[in-house]
Amino acid sequence: MEPDRRGDIGFPEAVMSASAVCVVLVCFIAFAYGSFSETESEVHQYSLSALPDHISLESGSYILDESFVYGKMSSLDVSGVSIIADPSGMSTITPASWSIGDGSGDCTQWRYVADIDSDDGRRVPTVLTVKVFQ
């Protein structure tokens, strides 16, 4: 890794220095995106993080405790919430969807997997898609 008489570096040194530059640039772009990107809306996904505790599975269909959602809507000051529960890969359980309130305007959407308790003692992995309308 020493320069030769002409002062040139070799191929391995050039590859390592180019890799170091690429890593630094990727870190900078990630930092800049996180710092200067469009700000999140006031409704964060953590405000409805207890949602899976209020969804149950009874006789093969999903049941939602809508009073919990209405309470969260009033505390978050949002106009509507849309929830889709999809038991991905399970043909014996039908997907369910709920629309509560006004489903128009700007929305924030996120998707995550939650274990939903069933009336037969199972925990069913379910993909929840939540849209919160401003």
Taking only the tens place, the pLDDT of each residue in 43-67 is: 555 566 777 888 998 888 899 988 8
Is the pTM here over 0.75, yes or no?
no
Going by C-alpha positions, the residue among 118, 120, 129 that lies closest to residue 56 is: 118
Q: How high is the pLDDT of residue 36?
A: 67
In the chain, % of residues over pLDDT 70: 84
What whole-number distance in Å separates Cα of residue 112 and Cα of residue 99? 18
What whole-number distance in Å separates Cα of residue 13 and Cα of residue 19? 10
Q: For 78-101, what is each residue's pLDDT tens digit? A: 888 899 999 888 878 889 999 988
Beta bridge partners of 83: 98, 130
